[in-house]
Structure 1
Amino acid sequence: MSHVPQIKIPATYMRGGTSKGVFFNLTDLPEAAQVPGAARDAILLRVIGSPDPYGKQTDGMGGATSSTSKTVILAKSEQPDHDVDYLFGQVAIDKAFVDWSGNCGNLTAAVGSFAINNGLVDAERLPQNGIAVVRIWQKNIQKTIIANVPMTNGEVQETGDFELDGVTFPAAEVQVEFISPVDATDAMFPTGNLVDELEVPGVGTFQATMINAGIPTVFLNAADIGYTGCELQEAINGDAKVLAMFETIRAYGAVKMGLITDVAEAAGRQHTPKVAFVGKPEAYVSSSGKQINATDIDLNVRALSMGKLHHAMMGTAAVAIGTAAAIPGTLVNLAAGGGDRSVVTFGHPSGTLKVGAAASATNGEWKVEKVVMSRSARVLMEGWVRIPGDSF
């Protein structure tokens, strides 16, 4: 019996923020994968090693967690006044499914350096030394993001002393600006309310802030679901009943937000919305053993991604947190003590994160101009990934 040999595809394995992913230049992909469709999805699934009934992604580049089962496709931008088009694919671990419904804010920090290194940013826009301003068009959500990438001697500087909780080693700081993360034509609060009563059959009725900023997110009060907001992954991820509860909440939240019309559709939209729960600032010990004091933070936030409690915080969810914190009356704002807030520092399982948001209201309608946070990024490996030639 003859077998089709492997093919190799140019790729770069990168860390961005607290995530890792396989990055591709669009024109390096096989022709069938240069357009959306089954061939593209099949290739990315095989690269990452999904679907894997063992949940390990041993035969691929994935790391068996939602934050390490990711792919990025970049191209010279087709949008005016932008440098690079950024398309993100969240690859399911145990299912043959790539979710294109949202962005990855963490990997956004790596988009600028990849774009520079691969000639996707015009040379005249790059300083020999200083900060390169890379204008990113996020294709999944049709938004502008600015990555401020440090340059030294004409090259991207990746090393530095910036420390990011959830990442073991320091690196160069990359400031990321999410510009107008909510469309003027879209409602930041899809229900029209800062706080709703979310009825979840078989689970309960909860106060919820449902916001569309960065990524659609359903925020709950930790106390309402029996938590404090100080939990680490092991407190939740090993309990199938609890995970099923969160997934049910997520499904009914998606319907309430108008993202789907029936809860059954939630299984085909795993990446969005996110579910997060907030608590008042309380001390805890992070997953690395670091002591987080109540005085270090404004509130605690825990969020689930792809069905599991995230080990740190998704960048897009941090945009939602920063935005909601800036709007008096949301559950996030109230957990932080209420009032006007342009900057908030929150605790997550790996430590803390500071995020700033510029939000304002006109005739009762809230809008956010931009959300800013600092991340870091680093090339881990570059060359080719190989997959069997009959994978697509």
Structure 2
Amino acid sequence: MSKAPQIKIPATYMRGGTSKGVFFNIADLPERCQQPGEARDKLLMRVIGSPDPYEKQIDGMGGATSSTSKTVLLSKSQSEDHDVDYLFGQVGIDKAFVDWSGNCGNLSAAVGPFAISNGLVEKSRIPDNGIATVRIWQANIGKTIVAKVPMTNGEVQETGDFELDGVTFPAAEVAVEFMDPADGEGAMFPTGNVVDDLEVPGVGTLKATMINAGIPTIFLNAEDIGYQGTELQPAINGDPEALARFETIRAHGAVKMGLIKTPEEAANRGHTPKVAFVSAPRDYVSSSGKNIKAGDVDVLVRALSMGKLHHAMMGTAAVAIATAAAVPGTLVNLAAGGGDRTSVTFGHPSGTLQVGAEAKQVNGEWTAAKAVMSRSARVLMEGWVRVPGDSF
């Protein structure tokens, strides 16, 4: 039995968009955890409370959902044209792993505020009042994110009247720009097609748009898999057979996208790719009881994260949605009515969200310059987290 005393590590618990996570300055971690590896992963899992066979994360900071089982590591940037380096770790809930394969778009909105408040941005770049532009290097995928953080009297302004569906209380608006959002160095459409026939054993052959933008995402037509696109979490998460089917689709889609070599590898890559399904607009009632009219949105989207239907929409998946909507002929574009567009308003389980994106063809391949959305962020608690000294 472990009797090693607990150690204290400076940390900040923050909400960013519709997610929450534990934020660290890498320099504050124990020395052996300041580099990637087993020690770091074990430390972060212990902080969050994983792996937990009860799937509650009672003995940690996690909230037992994909949206709340997250960690962020930050440091002053090694690059002159960025302010802060940002590394995101998605912590498994019942399994022992930290997935470093992608970004968290929601928590990206909290990176700028944390970086300013913790001295990671040069003071000369921060106005006393107005908007501070924080240049973020997203180290997981090697991309630039630009956050526009409101400042009041030299402090990050966290309170305001900006409302975000999926978040109960209003806060200050943080505009986030995802530059060149195609994920990684490969093509935005890794198969070379905007729509593919995806063969899934035991499920069938499905039309799919597979895109690397924001985060690798597999888009399906809702009606092809027996849904309307208006579903809320209980309809999916309460159906074990449906969840298993989605995971099978995800695994075979990941192989077709070239992310893994065999479907079995998907078990250790839970964060990417995402699976989402789309449909044309129709009326529905959101999880908060808000009536969403067909005329309020261009398209309906439901997305799964870490094996469960998301309560709102992942920020990175929102980038994928907007980018796919901007490319004529994708399933997202067709569900939204087709044609050219530079922004899309989509309905998700908690309400609606508007995201802007522009795409164009260069030498026969689709590219996107950036995607833009507004989120909010605030500090929930700051101080220290404690973990047993022999847990990593």
TM-score range, shorter chain: over 0.9
AA matched with 1:4: A
Unaligned runs of 5+ in 1: none
Task: Check whether the contact 2:183–2:212 (CA below 8 A) recurs between aligned residues.
Answer: no
Cα deviation, residue 364, structure 1: 2.5
Aligned counterpart, 2:202:
202
Q: Report matched runs for 1:244-263 at 5 Å.
A: 244-263=244-263
Structure 1: distance between partners of 2:155 and 2:184:
37
Structure 1: distance between partners of 2:125 and 2:377:
20
| 1:364 maps to 2:364 | yes
Structure 2: distance between partners of 1:163 and 1:260:
38
Q: Report matched runs for 1:161-200 at 5 Å.
A: 161-182=161-182, 185-200=185-200
Aligned counterpart, 2:64:
64
Aligned counterpart, 1:352:
352
Q: Report matched runs for 1:66-85 at 5 Å.
A: 66-85=66-85
Structure 2: distance between partners of 1:229 and 1:311:
14
Task: Check whether the contact 2:251–2:263 (CA below 8 A) recurs between aligned residues.
Answer: yes
AA matched with 2:320: A
RMSD: 1.0
Q: What SS does the corresponding residue of 2:337 show, helix, strand or coil? A: coil
AA matched with 1:284: Y
AA matched with 2:334: L
Q: What SS does the corresponding residue of 1:171 show, helix, strand or coil? A: coil
- CA shift digits 1:202-249 (9 cap, x unpaired): 111100000000000000000000001110000000111100000000
Structure 2: distance between partners of 1:79 and 1:149:
20
Task: Check whether the contact 2:2–2:390 (CA below 8 A) recurs between aligned residues.
Answer: no
CA shift in 2, pair 1:2/1:200, >3 Å: closer
Q: What SS does the corresponding residue of 2:247 show, helix, strand or coil? A: helix
Aligned counterpart, 2:330:
330
Structure 2: distance between partners of 1:16 and 1:383:
18
Aligned counterpart, 2:107:
107
Structure 2: distance between partners of 1:372 and 1:149:
14
Structure 2: distance between partners of 1:185 and 1:295:
37
Q: What SS does the corresponding residue of 2:374 show, helix, strand or coil? A: strand
| 1:37 maps to 2:37 | yes
AA matched with 1:111: V
Percent of aligned positions that are identical: 79
Task: Check whether the contact 2:270–2:306 (CA below 8 A) recurs between aligned residues.
Answer: yes
Task: Check whether the contact 2:86–2:136 (CA below 8 A) recurs between aligned residues.
Answer: yes
Aligned counterpart, 1:156:
156
Structure 2: distance between partners of 1:204 and 1:66:
28
- CA shift digits 1:331-384 (9 cap, x unpaired): 000000000010100000000000000211124311100000000000000000
Task: Check whether the contact 2:218–2:250 (CA below 8 A) recurs between aligned residues.
Answer: yes
**Which is worse superposed, 355-364 or 338-347?**
355-364
AA matched with 1:75: S
Q: Report matched runs for 1:305-324 at 5 Å.
A: 305-324=305-324
Cα deviation, residue 388, structure 1: 0.6
Task: Check whether the contact 2:131–2:151 (CA below 8 A) recurs between aligned residues.
Answer: yes
Q: What SS does the corresponding residue of 1:45 show, helix, strand or coil? A: helix
Structure 2: distance between partners of 1:166 and 1:55:
22
- CA shift digits 1:136-185 (9 cap, x unpaired): 00000000000000000010000000000000000000000000012795
In the alignment of these two chains, the number of paired residues is 392
| 1:378 maps to 2:378 | yes
| 1:243 maps to 2:243 | yes
Cα deviation, residue 93, structure 1: 0.4
Task: Check whether the contact 2:250–2:273 (CA below 8 A) recurs between aligned residues.
Answer: yes
AA matched with 2:21: G
Structure 2: distance between partners of 1:316 and 1:2:
39
- CA shift digits 1:98-132 (9 cap, x unpaired): 00000000000000000000000000000010000
Structure 2: distance between partners of 1:162 and 1:308:
28
| 1:125 maps to 2:118 | no
Aligned counterpart, 1:267:
267
Structure 2: distance between partners of 1:64 and 1:199:
32
TM-score between both structures, scaled by the size of structure 2: 0.99
Structure 1: distance between partners of 2:108 and 2:2:
42
Task: Check whether the contact 2:183–2:215 (CA below 8 A) recurs between aligned residues.
Answer: no
Structure 2: distance between partners of 1:296 and 1:196:
29
AA matched with 1:158: E
Unaligned runs of 5+ in 2: none
CA shift in 2, pair 1:193/1:233, >3 Å: same
AA matched with 1:57: Q
Structure 1: distance between partners of 2:169 and 2:190:
39
- CA shift digits 1:287-327 (9 cap, x unpaired): 00000000000000000000000000000000000000000
Structure 2: distance between partners of 1:149 and 1:56:
33
- CA shift digits 1:242-283 (9 cap, x unpaired): 000000000000000000111111111110000000010011
Task: Check whether the contact 2:183–2:214 (CA below 8 A) recurs between aligned residues.
Answer: no
